[in-house]
Amino acid sequence: MLYIGSHVSFNKDTQLIGVVQTAIENDANVFMFYTGSNQSTLRFPIDKNLTDKAHQIMLEHNIDREKCIIHAPFIINLANNSDERKYQFYIDFLKQEIDRCIALGINNLVLHPGSHVKVAKEEALLSVSNGLNEALKENQNIKILIEFMSGKGTEVGSTIDELKTILENVIYKDKVYICLDTCHINDAGYDLNNFDEFLNEFDQKIGIDKIKCIHINDSKNNLGAHKDRHENIGYGTIGFQTLINIIYNKRLEDVPKILETPFINDQSPYKTEIKIIREKKFIEFK
């Protein structure tokens, strides 16, 4: 079954209900949101009433909660442990985000592994694992999905081997997984025309069953550019057919696919992009 959706916004007044209604309006059956600004740590309280009502609407519309995603804010950086106070702040904030996921009943949390800045690469990767080990508790119902990054600046986690190292050093193996991102993989230097080769290497080193989400974005930049600038589906260097081949790859059939493509003149592109993905037929939309 195809699980397709997009990033949607979460606001104080409608909370999860607003998220679900936007997804339904877009003909999506999964979604992803930030529980507040992705650049700040300001967070409003989760309303249990709104959450319960949203779960009811999801049931009525066959939206599987197990496939839906929350994205942690960009500011959390577990890869740089050079400032102990900041590192602890990020771990504590991640703990709060995990609690918010659990309160919302959306138990998949995508997290950027972060940037090492001046810390040595190996140390940075270990620092990510250690941060996760401290943030997670044994009996929590949560999956942290470490995102495959483009390698922009000093980002870690832009190769299969680096992600493998992070996963190897986590204690709760049943709680840490991977989120792919087509734009990031392209910008990191893996040719998506040979996606099955990428998957073979991933499977051999990490295991395909570890992939719990894929961000579907075209890229404004060339293979290996290490840039991370998302483009609308069919308008970038990856191209519509290559993205369709990934979306419908049988090996990733049950993995939710989430669009994070840019708005066009302040308008959401998601309803159209979901439509052309479902129909597997490109039409110009910008």
Q: What is the nearest approach in angstroms of Zn ion to the Cβ of residue 138?
A: 32
Eight-state DSSP code of residue 11 = -
- Cβ-in-10-Å burial (0-12, 13-18, 19+) of 9 comes to exposed
Residue 97 contact, options Fe ion, Zn ion, none, Cβ 5-8 Å cut-off depending on partner type: none
Q: What is the nearest approach in angstroms of Zn ion to the Cβ of residue 149?
A: 8
Q: Is 187 in the site for Fe ion (CB under 5 A)?
A: no
Residue numbers at the binding site for Zn ion (CB under 5 A)? 228
Residue 228 contact, options Fe ion, Zn ion, none, Cβ 5-8 Å cut-off depending on partner type: Zn ion
Closest by CA position to 240, among listed 197, 280, 278, 270: 280
> Considering only residues 215, 218, 235, 277, which one is a binding residue for Fe ion as defined by CB under 5 A?
215
Contact 114, 76 (CB under 8 A): yes
Q: What is the nearest approach in angstroms of Fe ion to the Cβ of residue 228?
A: 8
Restricting to residues 94-153, which ones interact with Fe ion according to CB under 5 A?
A: 147
146, β-bridge pairs:
111, 178
Closer residue to Fe ion, CB minimum distance, 242 or 261? 261
Q: Is 228 in the site for Fe ion (CB under 5 A)?
A: no
Q: What is the nearest approach in angstroms of Fe ion to the Cβ of residue 50?
A: 25
205 SS3 class: helix
Stretch that binds Fe ion, among 49-57, 100-108, 209-217, 278-286 (CB under 5 A): 209-217
Closer residue to Fe ion, CB minimum distance, 212 or 215? 215
Closer residue to Zn ion, CB minimum distance, 67 or 220? 220
Q: Does the CA dihedral 71-74-79-85 come out positive or negative?
A: negative
Integer angstrom CA distances of residue 221 from 50, 76, 119:
40, 26, 27
Q: Is 181 in the site for Fe ion (CB under 5 A)?
A: yes
Stretch that binds Fe ion, among 2-10, 131-139, 166-174, 177-185 (CB under 5 A): 177-185
SS (H, E, C) 79-108: CCCCCHHHHHHHHHHHHHHHHHHHHHCCCE
Closer residue to Zn ion, CB minimum distance, 16 or 179? 179
Q: Which single residue is written with the structure tokens 């939710």?
A: 256
Q: Which residues bind Fe ion (CB under 5 A)?
A: 147, 181, 215
